[in-house]
Amino acid sequence: MWGGRFAAGPDAIMEAINASIGFDQRLAPQDIEGSRAHAAMLAAKGIITDTDAKAIREGLLTVLSEIEAGTFPFSTALEDIHMNVEARLTDLIGEPAGRLHTARSRNDQVAVDFRLWVRGQCDAVDEALGGLMQALVGQAEAGADWVMPGFTHLQTAQPVTWGHHMLAYVEMFARDRSRFADARARMNYSPLGAAALAGTSFPIDRHMTAEALGFDGPMANSLDAVSDRDFALEFLSSASICAMHLSRLAEELVIWSSAQFRFVKMSDRWSTGSSIMPQKRNPDAAELLRAKIGRIFGANVALMTVMKGLPLTYSKDMQEDKEQVFDAADNFALALAAMTGMVADMTANVAELEKAAASGFSTATDLADWLVRELALPFREAHHVTGTLVALAESQGCDLPDLSLEDMKAVHEGITKGVFDVLGVANSVASRTSFGGTSPVNVRAQVEIWKGRLT
């Protein structure tokens, strides 16, 4: 492609380190889409003839169908997808193929291809997150009033509802979704026509190609256009945050499905057995999901590291942007799909949840609040009285509702039998009606809101 200046071909090792065709062939559809738009623009501006543009545009479709059919002869000697496509186009249509690269460089070409690809991933993630949120809302609706322990420090804290717990993740994934939408809006400007780095002397129309490719306009600075990869980094950082959320949920599924918790039964579709221990049902999908998240974090760090020392504009280092993003995007898509399936198919063990919710003195805060409300104790004193009662119950080997009224009165004489109303877990959650609180009434209202938003 640049034979004019070179007498000898590259060393075999040079070819190996330089070639990206092994992975950037995934950009073929975007590369061809970009080239077709470029050719149409060149003809519209009179830079090439309509006849040549037609031959180029049709030839590119033939190349695409060869790639889709798996018959395309990819060549490492031709380095990357851009030169592989152009060389094949030359085989197919001859001389006009040589006119396609007018007013363009591989620098703006790869920038546009990769932007289109990452933009497509943003759209796919948006859809996948919508599906996951729907699965979570389905669980929340079914269990708006199922009571379970809420934890801090993984110690029983206060009873909460299953629906409230599910909707906590819906909120997180909704923010993740909006991060991808923001990133998409920022990346949706076209680098095409920035050429090598400085623009071109040909009378091109960058607005025309931008529009043809679904961008909101051309990028305003040619140096920036060929040299930044912040759009890919925004994708990776948004994916990293979302993956962190996925991993926390996966961790909960692993804990919840253990024999010690028995909060959920994962469906057979998402579990595996053991080759030696017949009783086992392992939550492999949740575990693998939790582990795969590291690749996404890793890709983010790797690409930040590739970019951080590069002077403007393009450097070949930037060829290392793609594999990281491809691998992260593939594993992210897999993680989202697996989580959606696991959530949709899991069965909550409602009796077990309730039993766990009632243990561990989970309504101690309700008792303290009752002392404040009914006996006008300062909260600090109520906290102390409640602590004494918890210690008493612990010494008797029972839970708070099992204490006798006499025992309670011995700790604080003002206590009446009305206190037993707040010691039950159902009353506890029903009372938490403050905005954003766990009560079934709140959960049902939020479920309705989400159902409206997710349709």
The per-residue b/e assignment along 398-427, b for 16 or more CB within 10 angstroms, e otherwise, is: ebbeebeeeebeebbeebeeebbebbbbee
Taking the complex as a whole, how short is the minimal distance between the CB of residue 254 and ligand ARG, in angstroms?
A: 39
> What are 208's two structure tokens?
């025309």
Beta carbons of 450 and 164 less than 8 angstroms apart: no
Among the listed residues 153, 201, 275, 434, the single catalytic one is 153
| Nearer Cβ to ligand ARG (106/165) | 106
Q: Considering beta carbons, is residue 105 or 439 the nearer one to ligand ARG? A: 105
Minimal distance, residue 82 CB to ligand ARG, in Å: 6
CB of 34 to ligand ARG, least distance (A): 13
Q: Looking at 75, 258, 274, 404, which residue is catalytic?
A: 274
Taking CB atoms within 8 Å and a gap of at least 24, the contacts of 195-198 are 195/103, 195/104, 195/105, 195/107, 195/108, 195/222, 196/105, 196/107, 196/108, 196/226, 196/314, 197/105, 197/107, 197/222, 197/223, 197/226, 197/227, 197/312, 197/313, 197/314, 198/222, 198/223
Active site residue 274: yes
Distance of closest approach, residue 19 Cβ to ligand ARG, in angstroms:
8
> Between residues 109 and 386, which has the closer beta carbon with respect to ligand ARG?
109
Instruction: Give 109: exposed, middle or buried? Use CB within 10 Å, 0-12, 13-18, 19+.
Output: buried
Active site residue 257: no
Question: And the tokens for 411?
Answer: 């700790």
Indicate the residue among 2 and 435 with the shorter CB distance to ligand ARG. 2
The residues that bridge with 54 in the sheet, in sequence order, are none
DSSP 323-387: HHHHHHHHHHHHHHHHHHHHHHH-EE-HHHHHHHHHSTTTTHHHHHHHHHHHH---HHHHHHHHH
- Cβ closer to ligand ARG: 119 or 229? 229
Tokens coding 127: 């859809």
* Shorter beta-carbon distance to ligand ARG: residue 20 or 121: 20
Q: Which residues bind ligand ARG (CB under 6 A)?
A: 20, 24, 80, 106-107, 110, 314, 316, 318-319
Q: Report helix angle 81-93 to 50-69, nearest 10.
A: 120
Query: Considering the complex, what minimum distance in angstroms separates the CB of residue 440 from ligand ARG?
Result: 54
Q: What is the dihedral of CA 172, 175, 177, 181, to 10 degrees?
A: -170
- Of 136 and 318, CB closest to ligand ARG: 318
Report the residue number, 114 or 180, with the smaller CB distance to ligand ARG: 114
Shortest Cβ 48–ligand ARG spacing (Å): 22
Q: Output the smallest distance, CB 93 to ligand ARG, in A.
A: 23
CB of 298 vs ligand ARG, minimal distance in Å: 20
Burial of 316 (0-12, 13-18, 19+ CB in 10 A): exposed
Distant-in-sequence, close-in-space partners of 273: CB < 8 Å, separation ≥ 6: 280, 281, 282
Taking CA atoms, 112 is separated from 41, 98, 109, 118, in Å, by 15, 20, 5, 10
Tell which residue, 192, 287, 188, 197, has the closest CA to residue 235. 188
Which residues are designated catalytic? 153, 274
